[in-house]
Structures are given as structure tokens and as C-alpha cells.
Structure 1
Amino acid sequence: MRSRQAQGLDCSRVSALRFVHWPWSADWAVLWLACCLMLLLAGCAIPAGDRQPLPKGIDADELLSEIAACHLLRVVQNADRSATDAVVIAALDRYGFEVEQMIERANYLARIAAARPSQRDEMIELARGACDHLASLTGTSSGLVRFDDQGAVDRTWLLVDGEINDGFADKVIARLRAERAVGLVINSPGGSLYEARRLGRWLRENGLPVGVNELCTSACVDVLAGGVERYVTADVRLGIHQSKVPAHLSSHEGGQLSVVSAALYLREMGIDDSIALAAAAVPNNKMYWISLSEALETGLATKVVPGF
């Protein structure tokens, strides 16, 4: 499936950002170092171009480090020589940094990572923060970008239909990786909240958008919520209702826990938790249909698109 999401990115200037493929079992710090060294061997550069001045209070050295960190995060997450982030492309283009500069900085960051394996989680958080900051500077949404064998942007999305059952998250993640998809289109009547939120958190962490073009109800809404961008068509049907109370909990206790966990998850995804309150007011055998305007106002959807 081909998406229109990556349009507008000037990727011709950075299409040479390539890496060899490394196994997932490789140590994270060593993998990062190896990726940097492969960049060094690539020896490609971005032409100077028409760079824009740095925003007031922004240090060029710090900005270069953020660009390198965000780029390496996407490569390491996907173990993919052709992966990067949309904000990296935008920042390199906007501020006119040369790829050789990013290579040199990436090697410096790699040496730090290799010397401090115990700080892996902290470094990942710093890289995520770098992607977020670049997004605010460039006005571009942070998200996974891949290049095809010809150096053009690969717009492959994965289409998934059906119930969200046991093992759903792992199966979808495996397919996203195998098909080198940069986004997920899902149509589902719902199912397991646990699987939906697992997949939603993975999608957000790895920078993938989510789209719905037909039906997404119950737990499916939690998958949609996980996308870094959340696209719906004009005739989409988004529905929510109360979650079923687990057998080992009383209806009162289970209902309270369900509302709280739903609200916390939506808040984690940056979406208005009023969606969770609306769901709590609707019995499990009925459906509350979310209008397009409500989906946009709450952040559950970020854009209405013609299709995928």
C-alpha cells in the first residue's frame, strides 16, 4: 500500500544516508558505533544550499548533535540501513548542515555510547527528545522515513483488517518490519486492549503514523491513538464503549480501573482523555460514535485525508 504522507520532503539531498544491515542481537552501543562508521565510509555531503539562520538562542553545535542523535535512533530502532527521521531531513535542509558534519558528530556520540553501556536508556530518551525538538524547530512531524534502492522515499504502508486478538501486536510489528512499512492502516472492530496498547506504544516509540479509512471501534481506537500522526477519511467510523470487566474483578472495581487506565493511556499519547470518559458512559453492548470534529478537537485524529 502506498501513502501520500511523505510528500513535500526534499530527500534528494540526503538519499545517500545508508547503512549495512546488522542483526537485532547486536549490542545497542556497538550497533550505534558501527552505523556511524558506515556513515563515515559513505563520504556523501549535502550541498550548502540556501540555509536559514538558526533561531535565537540555539547553538549550532547542540543542534548538529540533535540531528545526528535523532537520525541514529531511527536506524538503530529499525536495524535498517535506509531509515531516518523526517525531522532530520527537514533540519539538514533548513539549516544547511553538511552530512560530513553530522558524520563527525555521530562518531563522537557513538564513542560516548560505547563507553557508557549502562546509560543506554538515558541516551535513547535524549535521542527521542532531540527528535521532538527538531520537530518544533522545523514544523515537521517526527516520524520514520525510509529510502528505497533508488534513493527515493519509500511510502509503503501496511494494511491490517480484523479483530485484535492474542499475539496481534507482535504479528503486526513483524509484518511492519518485514515489509519495511512506514505507516499502518488499520480497520478493526476491536478486541484486546492489552494488545492494542502494546502496539500503540510501539508505533509511537518507533515514529510510525496510523490511518483508518473504514471502521475502528473499541480497542482499535487505542491503536490509532499510538500513531505519531493519526489520519482518517471523511467517512470513517470511530466508535468507543465501556471495556468488559475482567472476571476476577467486581464490576465497580473493574469499571474504575478501566476508566483510569484508558484515560492515562490517552494522556500518554497526548490525546484529550475526555474520550475515555465518553466511553465509560456507554454500555459494552452499545457504541458511541465519535464525530470527525470531535476526533480532531481531542487529537485522536490529526488530519482528514481523501484516502490511502
Structure 2
Amino acid sequence: MILAAALSSADCLGMDISRVAGCAGDVLRLSGDIADGDYVRFRAHFGAERRIVGIDLDSGGGSLYEGLRIAMLTHQRQVPTYVSNECDSACAFIFLASRKRYVAPDAKVGVHSVGNTHGGEDNGTIRDTIRLARLSAKLGIPLSTIGKMVATPPRKISYLNKEELAALKVIARNPFARIAVHGSTQPTKGGSLSCNAAISREEPKDDGMARDRSSAKGS
């Protein structure tokens, strides 16, 4: 799926990606705006020795191109997703593309159509919205959710209601709560971390350069 090349303009350093280790594997926490290069950083975590058992999402969106790539890898790996606070636009597509979906009781999931760098629509972004809708249908996303995404202008956000979340078979609980609550930074004998271990934050990117971010947001 080739999306409009114009979908990146605003300055952004990218998502904050952290890793929470537990007995069964690690949970990736993704927060902040999605920016150029985030897919590569995200994918690198799947090459680690410990497997990824879930993704915790809290993002207002960002680069549609990067978000789509993250979404498709999440779908292919069959990794469950959990929205801890709010997940809109490109972030929402990561959530929607996953095969198991969870939300916090007060969490919000927002969608809208694809926009250009000015937050408006043109022939290219309209085509991209259609492509995104067709891809969503192939992934089994309900038509009510797809319709809400297509009908909502780029500058606005429409949040999924309880009925739409139910149609997506979303479960209102945190499947990773035990990992988060019982996590510990205390090493065991020999220096290794205990079974429910610590949050390990990625090193900051070393170039210090501002990265492009999509002002256009797809669901």
C-alpha cells in the first residue's frame, strides 16, 4: 500500500518506546507522536531474546506511513494491544489491526480520514482514505468503524462508542496489570532481573535531529 509522500511535515522526535519485562515475555509501551523511523525502532524489539507479549498504546497519532507499518507487524505477530489512555489516528489503526484488543475503562480510541500536511483533503489523501478503508475491511474491522473513519474530516476526531468497541470484541481490562504492578528493578543472585522485571527505556536517538511527522492522520 503506497500512501501519499506528502504525509510528513511537523517536527517530532518520535515515540517513547519502553519495555516492561515479565515472566511470559515483555510488553512494549508506546507513547507520544509517531514519527519517521519509529517502525524500525519498534521492529528491533522483536529481534531481542525475550519475546513481545503485548503492546500498551497511548498516542495521539502522527505519521500514517510509520503507523501502518507498525500496525501490520503487530497484526502479523498476533500481539495483543491495550489502550491505557488515548489512542487516535495512526495509533488507532495499530489498535484496530491487532487481533486481541483491550482498553482501560476510561480509554478513548479516535479515528478520522487521511489529511495532507495542511490538515485538509486533496485527491491523493482521498485515495489514501479509500485504500485504508479497504485494508481495514480485509483485516476484518467492522464496517461501522470504517464508516466513522471515512466520514470524519482530517481536522476532527470521532471516538468509538461502546457499541463499536463491542463489535471489535474489545475487552475492558488491562491484560498486563500483573506485569506493571509486580515489576521490580531488584536483581536476583547473579545479577539477573527477577521474573517480573523492570521498565527498560530505550536510549535516546543520538542524532538530535528533529524528525518529520505526519500532520495527516489516518485511523
State whether TM-score is above 0.5: yes
Distance 1:246 1:306, change over 3 A: closer
Equivalent residues of 2:113, 2:152 under 8 A apart: yes
Instruction: Identify the match of residue 296 of structure 1 among 160, 166, 171.
Output: 166
| 1:257 alignment counterpart | 127
Distance 1:158 1:267, change over 3 A: same
| 2:201 alignment counterpart | none
2:67 is the counterpart of 1:196: yes
Whose RCO is larger (CA < 8 A, sep 6+)? 2
Distance 2:34 2:174 in 1: 26
Distance 1:182 1:306 in 2: 13
Distance 1:195 1:234 in 2: 28
Equivalent residues of 2:114, 2:128 under 8 A apart: yes
Instruction: Identify the match of residue 275 of structure 1 among 139, 145, 150.
Output: 145
Distance 2:99 2:128 in 1: 24
TM-score (norm 1): 0.46
| 2:112 alignment counterpart | 241
Percentage of pairs with the same residue? 26
| 1:154 alignment counterpart | 24
Residues 1-27 of structure 1 show CA distances to partners (whole Å, capped at 9, x for unaligned) of 368xxxxxxxxxxxxxxxxxxxxxxxx
Pairwise CA distance, 1:276: 2.9
2:78 is the counterpart of 1:207: yes
Distance 1:214 1:265 in 2: 26
Output the aligned Cα RMSD. Answer: 2.4
Aligned positions of 1:91-240 closer than 5 A: 154-178=24-48, 179-240=50-111
Distance 1:304 1:216, change over 3 A: same
| 1:286 alignment counterpart | 156
Larger proportion of strand: 2
Residue 221 of structure 1 aligns with an amino acid whose one-letter code is A
The number of aligned residues is: 155
In structure 2, runs of 5+ residues without a counterpart are: 1-19, 177-219
Residue 59 of structure 2 aligns with an amino acid whose one-letter code is S
SS in structure 1 opposite 2:79? coil
Larger proportion of helix: 1
Aligned positions of 1:11-160 closer than 5 A: 154-160=24-30
Q: Please tell me whether Structure 1 or Structure 2 has the larger radius of gyration of its CA atoms.
A: 1
TM-score (norm 2): 0.62
Residue 200 of structure 1 aligns with an amino acid whose one-letter code is A
